[in-house]
């Protein structure tokens, strides 16, 4: 099963660092980085600011290792990490994602 995994960071540099680590570890085939505006509650107060959303293409088998790697590189106390199942997509593209991702990363 193919997944799109999302997280957000406070800087483009951190987003690029996480993206590169995930792709180099072969836990994500591709990562998109988008600048977004976020409004959220943190420690009882409404916050508003700029963040960078990462969308990583991976497999369900690689998700546990990918989540661990994101947490290791993330500066947030409680990073948002969540996944969406890709229920439809170009067959060739989804095959490419599965071919590029190693479930346990390079060490596996």
Tens-digit pLDDT profile for residues 71-108: 999 999 999 999 999 999 999 999 999 999 998 766 44
Q: Are 33 and 53 in contact (CB under 8 A)?
A: yes
Q: Which residues, in sequence order, are bridge partners of residue 49?
A: 38
39 backbone dihedrals φ, ψ, rounded to 5°: -125, 125
Query: Average pLDDT in the 56-80 region?
Result: 97
pLDDT more than 90, % of the chain = 94
């Amino acid at each position: 099963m193919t997944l799109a995994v999302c997280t957000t960071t406070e800087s483009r540099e951190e987003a690029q660092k996480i993206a590169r680590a995930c792709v180099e570890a072969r836990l994500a085939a591709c990562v998109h980085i988008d600048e977004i505006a976020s409004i959220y509650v943190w420690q009882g107060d409404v916050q508003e600011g700029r963040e960078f959303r990462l969308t990583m293409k991976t497999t369900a088998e690689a998700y546990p290792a990918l989540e661990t790697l994101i947490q290791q590189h993330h500066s947030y106390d409680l990073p948002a990490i969540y996944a969406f199942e890709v229920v439809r997509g170009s067959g060739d593209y989804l095959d490419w994602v599965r071919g590029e991702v190693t479930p346990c990363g390079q060490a596996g």
